[in-house]
Structure 1
Amino acid sequence: MRTLAFPYTEAMAEKIHGYTLGSEVNDTWQDLNRRYTRHPKNLPYRDLSLGLRYVSSDYATICKDPDGPGTLLLMRKKIDTAIISRLFAAFERDLAARHGAPFEDLLGPLLRLTKPRTIHIAKYLQAGTGTHADIPNWVFDVATWRTIELLRGVLKLPDGTDLLLRPDIDGNLVAFNRPLPETHPRAEQGIHYISLEPITVPGYPGILLNIDAHISATTGFPGNAKSLWIATDDTGMLLTARHRYDRPNDRNVITGLLPQLVDSFSIHGVPANFTADDLLATHPRIRARHATPPDRHPIGSGPGRRFLDCVLEHATARLNTESLVLETTPIHNIDAPGDPDRHAKLASAVNAAPQPIHISVVYQDDLQRHRSAQALTEVLNLPENSLTTAESTFLDGALTITFDSAKTDMLVTPGPTHLRNTLAEQIISTRTPDALHLVLAESNKELAAAKPAEDPKPQLRRALAAHGTVSQFIDPASTPKPDAADHPANAAVRDLLRAAGLTATTPTRVFSRPLQPQPCVIVGLYTREQNQPATRMISLSALVSDGTDTPWHMLGYHPDAHGWNDLPTAIAAHHATNLSQFNDPNPATRTALARAYTERALHQLRTRYDDIPMIIYIDGSNRYPLWSGTTNKNLGNEQLDALPHLGMINPADISLVRVNTASDGKLPQPVRATGKRANADDGAVPATERLYHLPGARQDTYYLINRWDCTRFG
């Protein structure tokens, strides 16, 4: 299978220029920061970096010095320090004007004195063994702009149409000059553009240039616009910008400092505001991206795959190398086809649960009550029209379903927490004694958007969890068209049952030939970092099979659930408090604490199940991995502390699988089957259950292209 990933070799690596911003510049910057911002905000470095890209028509950024203390201005092209000084002065002038302060020209004179030094990219292409990012982020950015330099220019479509690819300041290549079709009402045309992201993949040496092709709908109505492309000349770099509607003056204003910052460096100037007429002009200087995908594609069906083919041919010729090829393997049918009896099996799982199940449906809108009843009927294989009363009992008393109407202000209107606490107590008072209680409640994201801090959904979830009750929600926004299948409601019911540890999945559906059902433990580890506030989250769950064709036993880990416990107990503990948050401001300290927490949990589980095989799945998209042996460059490092399972009981019976998904944005884009000609109808990459092998990786790495067009690495 051909992909749009190309190797970035040392031969492509180049020299860039670093301008040291000394202590005087840093001190002056901090002084301006205190003068023009409020803590904890900082001055908008990003606008200045993007301005430098515009004036140099290439990559520029301001970052920490990679070889020592201090700050560095990195640029692919060497430019006169007078231009840099002028841009910094313009930045300071715009800040002063915005705050009604006098312009003192403090930064500009300091920048005239800086001298560039040469930095060799090849030095940074080989990463060390640390747990942090393998290669500095700016190296990836430089690789992006080197690729832009090679790919920009004319790309030819299959019908002979020439598209002029122009870079924008965000690092995309945009066919700004020729949207298709040529004429269309309200300027709803398609803009072809290419995004580029250098990546590393598990066990693969070096950087891959990951290219993707897109067609974005444009609009001639400012109210539908998500963002803007601004052309200040006919062939050069494009500005990208946001906008807002200035109601008092009835105009659409281009926001941010960037337009003002680069106005004097442009040929035609950068407008401060725009109208619909500007977007509808014959040769517009501004094009607006549509905020939402239109119902019908502006240039017809199937253009995306054909554009992928064109980009593959274009990139192969311009980069003078072949793209990454994924090899076909005999491994297939890793997931059994749909089970026609899954509804009956799920009902059997409910019937075989160790305690009765009570599902409370809480609603304020009759349509949502009807959706919930239909979904419960379909998912649990209940008799038709059996949920028309306030309470119904099934499976010889093993399942009770009740419907409780709630007032709008109690259930879906944003407000103080005590409203949801009161509602939760009312719901809990109706639960069946000694039953596992589940709640399917109505929510309304449209109402919640008015006051996100008082969103009723998390308030009610936490209030119910304090009573040991897990919950799931159904929103009117997901209501399907009449007579259409209600997949969102069905999924909500399945998610609710899954949170209770109830599933129709059995070992025989997973371990099909040549595998055989046997006792095993499958562990899932999911972790994420966020910046504001700085914290790390970890979620641990497990499936345990005794090797017979009975549903999995599902466990979850949370300190407030006394470690490993039944999944609903662990989920309720998570919803009632926090999910293992580590809040130390130092990333290394957060990582160390999170690693100790995770290893303690894994050792506890292994001690409980020490004599059966265990498989540990860990997600691979986190910026600060817990173990150095799971980073792309060091995948498979078998030092004792490099992987989580090496110090556990019977490590030979434990497998570790790292998983990346397409949503992480770190996987090569598949284009067509190997050996097929460009634009061949039989060359499309089909949905499949076959695994594709990544050649050249130090550890076994596989692709799965499934029916939802999602790619995964294992």
Structure 2
Amino acid sequence: MTQHGREPGVYLNTLAFRCTPTLVGDDSVYVRHLDPETLKLWSDFDRQCKQRYGDEAAQAPYSIATTVLSVLSNGYVYFDPDYKGPFLASLEPLADDLIRRVFTLTYWLALGERIDAIDLKAPPELAKRIAGTTEHRYSLAEFLTPQINTQPTAPNWVFRTVAWGLSQRMAGPWAISGSKKIRLRPDTTGGLVAIDDPWENEQRGRFAVSRTALRLKTLPNITSPILMVTSRVTRISSSLVFSRTALAVQPGEDRPVLEVPLNGRGGARTVNRLALEALGRLEMDYSILSAIAKRSQAEQKLLAEAKEQRRKALFAREHPGQVWPILGKNYTFPIGTGTGMQHLRELHKHFRDVFGGTAEPLVIRETDMTLPHRPTDPERVTAKELERRKQERANSDSKEPLRARGSAFPQPESIVAAVEAAGFTKLRIACLWYRDETRLRMLDTLCKTYGLDTAGLDPHDGQEFSLHGTQITAVFHLASDFLKPGGPDGRQQALNETGASLVSRDGVLVGAWCETEIPTADDAPDGAKGDLEGLDAKHQTRTILAALGAPTQYILGRNAHGVIHPKAKDHPAEMALLDLYRSLGIIDDRIANALQPQTTHSAYAVSRIAHVGFHVRQQNKRKGEGGSPKVVITASALVPPLRPGGTWTMLGWSSTKPQWQPYRLAQTDFHTTAYPQENGTRKTHRQRWDDAAETIELALSDLAEELDGVPYVVTIDGLAGRRMWDGLHNVRQGASPQDRTSRYWLPGSSLNPAERPDAVIRINVEDDEVPPPVSTTRFLKSRADAVREGETTRTLYQVVQDFSTPVWILCNVPRAYDGDGAGRLGSKYTRWDAKRSIQSDKKDERRKGEMPQNWYSMTATEIYPIACNPGVSGEALAFATAQLCHQTLFWSDRSRFPVPLHAAKQMDLNHPQYRRTAPPEEQQTTEPGTDEPDTVPEE
């Protein structure tokens, strides 16, 4: 070992630290635990509120109490009436009399009583019992002592309150970029906000702030809870009435910034009126909330005047001062998203400086996995050849890369093999278009993909032409009336009139590549107003084509700036074509290459098992919809060939047609049916998710029969799956299934041993739950004290566990940060030093401003295999999962999810009913994702 206490190797540095007794020190909180009798009274109160508001989803509005108590007690208050451990917590002691009066007002105001009619001397039984509950002062350190070989089991209130004291210690001056200092203020969520040093756009008047969150989480088989530190750009709206939340600067130097939820509908949101009434009745200072209410009133008046005059409302664009309304996500804004890597590294250093030796990082070491060489990777050349090319380049004006990237597309022979494995002899790509510019983009992409000479190639509509012999062809059809935005009437007839043959039959597999655009107000009928989503031809035409059994993919022909004319490589068109192959269920040899035998010493052959992914999502109700939320389930299965060297195939499944069939058929069947409807029986949260787990249990039983003895593993998104299976929870690792509260312990756990999956692989990509990577450190063998620092990494790391099996972290560097031509914004400095734009007649002097652009950081995918059968290698499965993230089907770089889970998810994302609507008060814009575009070819 080196003198640093680490074995030689590469280690990942993250903004994740063990939350130990020494880290929290003397921090303490005040907690009142609600007993069963009090909880019963709260449940009765909650039921009365549901009846009054006529909504089963309504909750008793305890935000009245928490808002009032936050204003009166320096901000740190948390109330959780959850039946698993209800509590009221605060950083400072709360007087019994204050509690009694606040909950008396909350009770009667929620039930519709007038504020002046409430008798504070005659509190309801619920208020008396909450106030009479003993207030305990707890030292946080007592609940954070790790137990040997045991997951941490700290109570819920510890997870909710531990960040309060830690954020206060991190507050104050933050030294970045040498002498520059940024003031960090604590906020009432237990985070930090740089509200005194906001970012401003170049044209002035629009603002954003840096917000840092501290959240307590757990990791599998680590004995201490983990403190995750994340940072983001929070953009500030110029209007308050369309925001759901606002930050408010309280009077006084030592008071935290108050995060205030806003009530009401969009265009009329304001501070909780009942909380204002309660504070007035208590004769307490509530100037901060009054300021929010007055601003809301002024803005609502401005909106009303603008509507009356039939003009757009113009809100003042100035420094927010005391009230900072938070803008909803993914809307057009002149300040980009993302803080950049240097920001995170500076934050990491600040945390270490503040907490010193008490800041104990996780030990996360790089594995010896070798990632497969993808077609899109730069070609592999010897050192001698690379040197020769350098010399040639030095003696010429060439700007060609020293190692050229290959094509993102599989070899035609591989596509042909997949088509034949599906039972067909030919693939025909039917291109449906209505703008000549889009037609030329499609033709150009097909020619480049299949190495055709475009000179003189201009096929007539309906003329089938060869892409690869007689086995892969294409045909174009002008389909204006079918594809253009508008209502549904006449679309089927319009498709019939094109003469397009779209049914797969007589040995020909057909896929439809279609043009689309996002409808605007100009597409609405004369004088009509309303839901533009109803004019989106993509959703209408997808249903029609799915009924024909034709897998589809769409390419955007026009955006907000007009008809699209790609300046260089047409990445959206290339990805659309790749995703069409995915919709067709074509599994080319890139997957076999990705699952080659591993470098591990395990005999467990991941290339001989099926890899299954289940996607689960709750489709919540829209405004005006009735019934319970819908649970949507889709799945895909990568099935190995019967003989080594053969072709992989892919099956699909959905909860609307619960049978395993070729992926292309499963997807089209799913897209022809509406999302599932709940029956008339009201179900509890537990019942709904138990039923969903049972549906998957039946699907796995059917799959085992379909696979006929081929072993398989199941991959699940941990965030969705934890509602269904207790065995996925960190706290349950090593526990007995008999102690579960869910109906099933893990997917397939109720099946007989021969039908069960070999393992369940839990995937987590949530930024606030996976250790945020910031850099690497390499400890060298040659000298005991020698280290090398690295800024980014793309490899797989193993978290060194305290007991049992480890969890793995796959680090990702977004293409927008590290791709060809990427500026790597934020790699050397923070947004506080963002460069301004430069306008010049000379091209080499011009510069694009950096503040409006998105700044990217590394992301991470957590991979946790849970073995269900003996002989299963968790390491081999972690490697295989990483490789199936590294080699995707649908574009040229990585995905956060491995192939089977991504394919299952795309079935849902492409469903005609999947929600893509934005709130009408803000125009939504498409922004690059952190790693991959979820539906890049389409939206």
Same fold (TM over 0.5): yes
The Cα shift of 1:523 comes to 1.6
The yes-or-no answer on 1:503 pairing with 2:524 is no
Contact 2:419 2:509 in 1 (8 A): no
Q: 2:211 corresponds to which residue?
A: 193
The yes-or-no answer on 1:270 pairing with 2:277 is no
Q: Which amino acid aligns with 2:66?
A: S
Q: 1:660 corresponds to which residue?
A: 764
Q: Which amino acid aligns with 2:460?
A: T
Q: 1:615 corresponds to which residue?
A: 713
Label 1:287 to 1:233 Cα distance change in 2 as closer, same or farther (>3 A). Answer: same
Q: 1:703 corresponds to which residue?
A: 809
Q: Which amino acid aligns with 1:393?
A: F
The Cα shift of 1:530 comes to 4.7
Q: 2:460 corresponds to which residue?
A: 389
The yes-or-no answer on 1:540 pairing with 2:640 is no
Q: Which amino acid aligns with 1:5?
A: A
Contact 2:231 2:344 in 1 (8 A): yes
Q: 1:672 corresponds to which residue?
A: 775
Helix, strand or coil for the counterpart of 2:668?
helix
The yes-or-no answer on 1:471 pairing with 2:552 is yes
In 1, Cα distance between equivalents of 2:212 and 2:321: 21
Q: Which amino acid aligns with 2:69?
A: L
Label 1:382 to 1:615 Cα distance change in 2 as closer, same or farther (>3 A). Answer: farther
The yes-or-no answer on 1:105 pairing with 2:178 is no
Contact 2:183 2:196 in 1 (8 A): yes
In 2, Cα distance between equivalents of 1:349 and 1:45: 58
Q: Which amino acid aligns with 2:211?
A: Y
* 1:14-53 correspondence runs (5 A): 14-18=28-32, 41-42=58-59, 44-46=61-63, 48-53=65-70
1:161-211, CA deviations, whole angstroms, 9 ceiling, x for partnerless residues? 343322334443112123358x97514565332122222223333421111
The Cα shift of 1:667 comes to 0.5
Contact 2:164 2:191 in 1 (8 A): no
Helix, strand or coil for the counterpart of 2:777?
coil
Q: 1:488 corresponds to which residue?
A: 572
The yes-or-no answer on 1:77 pairing with 2:99 is no
Q: Which amino acid aligns with 1:16?
A: Y
Match among 454, 457, 478 for residue 538 of structure 2: 457
Helix, strand or coil for the counterpart of 2:439?
helix
In 2, Cα distance between equivalents of 1:245 and 1:643: 41
Helix, strand or coil for the counterpart of 1:186?
coil
In 1, Cα distance between equivalents of 2:764 and 2:772: 13
In 2, Cα distance between equivalents of 1:134 and 1:659: 22
Label 1:185 to 1:88 Cα distance change in 2 as closer, same or farther (>3 A). Answer: farther
Helix, strand or coil for the counterpart of 1:468?
coil
In 1, Cα distance between equivalents of 2:723 and 2:110: 39
In 1, Cα distance between equivalents of 2:687 and 2:46: 29
The yes-or-no answer on 1:431 pairing with 2:502 is yes
In 2, Cα distance between equivalents of 1:225 and 1:626: 33
Q: Which amino acid aligns with 1:280?
A: E
Label 1:645 to 1:314 Cα distance change in 2 as closer, same or farther (>3 A). Answer: same
Return 5+ residue gaps in structure 1 as ranges.
128-132
Q: Which amino acid aligns with 2:610?
A: V
Label 1:469 to 1:310 Cα distance change in 2 as closer, same or farther (>3 A). Answer: same
In 2, Cα distance between equivalents of 1:117 and 1:244: 32
Contact 1:260 1:270 in 2 (8 A): no
Contact 2:584 2:663 in 1 (8 A): yes
The Cα shift of 1:312 comes to 2.0
Contact 2:260 2:271 in 1 (8 A): yes
The yes-or-no answer on 1:693 pairing with 2:799 is yes
Contact 1:204 1:633 in 2 (8 A): no
Label 1:582 to 1:29 Cα distance change in 2 as closer, same or farther (>3 A). Answer: closer
Match among 587, 612, 616 for residue 685 of structure 2: 587
The Cα shift of 1:405 comes to 3.2
In 1, Cα distance between equivalents of 2:96 and 2:215: 30
In 1, Cα distance between equivalents of 2:166 and 2:345: 18
The Cα shift of 1:4 comes to 1.1
Q: Which amino acid aligns with 2:688?
A: R
* 1:291-690 correspondence runs (5 A): 292=331, 304-319=340-355, 321-339=358-376, 340=406, 343=409, 345-346=411-412, 348-350=414-416, 353-354=419-420, 355=424, 356-384=426-454, 386=457, 388-391=459-462, 392-394=464-466, 395-407=468-480, 410-413=482-485, 415-416=487-488, 419-420=490-491, 422=493, 430-431=501-502, 433-434=505-506, 435-447=508-520, 450-452=531-533, 455-475=536-556, 476-477=558-559, 482-504=566-588, 505-511=590-596, 514=599, 518-532=607-621, 533-546=628-641, 548-558=644-654, 563-577=659-673, 585-622=683-720, 624-635=722-733, 642-644=745-747, 647=751, 654-662=758-766, 665-674=768-777, 683-690=789-796
The Cα shift of 1:573 comes to 1.7
In 2, Cα distance between equivalents of 1:446 and 1:108: 59
Label 1:325 to 1:245 Cα distance change in 2 as closer, same or farther (>3 A). Answer: closer
Q: 1:284 corresponds to which residue?
A: 321
The Cα shift of 1:224 comes to 11
Contact 1:167 1:173 in 2 (8 A): yes
Return 5+ residue gaps in structure 2 as ranges.
1-11, 147-151, 300-313, 377-405, 522-529, 622-627, 739-743, 780-786, 815-857, 864-939
Contact 2:519 2:536 in 1 (8 A): no
Contact 2:616 2:632 in 1 (8 A): yes
The Cα shift of 1:330 comes to 3.5
Q: Which amino acid aligns with 1:510?
A: L
1:578-597, CA deviations, whole angstroms, 9 ceiling, x for partnerless residues? 57777772233333333333
In 2, Cα distance between equivalents of 1:587 and 1:77: 34
In 1, Cα distance between equivalents of 2:566 and 2:64: 48
Contact 1:187 1:219 in 2 (8 A): no
Helix, strand or coil for the counterpart of 2:161?
helix
Label 1:123 to 1:463 Cα distance change in 2 as closer, same or farther (>3 A). Answer: farther
Q: Which amino acid aligns with 1:566?
A: P
Contact 2:431 2:474 in 1 (8 A): yes
In 2, Cα distance between equivalents of 1:367 and 1:493: 17
Contact 2:433 2:439 in 1 (8 A): yes
1:246-283, CA deviations, whole angstroms, 9 ceiling, x for partnerless residues? 99xxx9975654884668534565242178997635x9
Contact 2:370 2:599 in 1 (8 A): no
In 2, Cα distance between equivalents of 1:393 and 1:108: 87
Q: Which amino acid aligns with 2:538?
A: K
Instruction: Tell me the matched-pair count.
Output: 690
Contact 2:431 2:477 in 1 (8 A): yes
The Cα shift of 1:457 comes to 3.1
Match among 125, 132, 135 for residue 115 of structure 1: 132
Q: 2:874 corresponds to which residue?
A: none
Label 1:118 to 1:7 Cα distance change in 2 as closer, same or farther (>3 A). Answer: farther
The Cα shift of 1:349 comes to 0.8
In 2, Cα distance between equivalents of 1:377 and 1:649: 51
Contact 1:412 1:456 in 2 (8 A): yes
Q: Which moved more, 1:593-602 or 1:373-382?
A: 373-382
In 2, Cα distance between equivalents of 1:348 and 1:303: 42
In 2, Cα distance between equivalents of 1:159 and 1:470: 56
Tell me the TM-score normalised to structure 2 length: 0.63
In 2, Cα distance between equivalents of 1:323 and 1:421: 64
Q: Which amino acid aligns with 2:19?
A: Y
Q: Which amino acid aligns with 2:159?
A: F
The Cα shift of 1:333 comes to 2.4
The yes-or-no answer on 1:5 pairing with 2:5 is no
Contact 2:64 2:275 in 1 (8 A): no
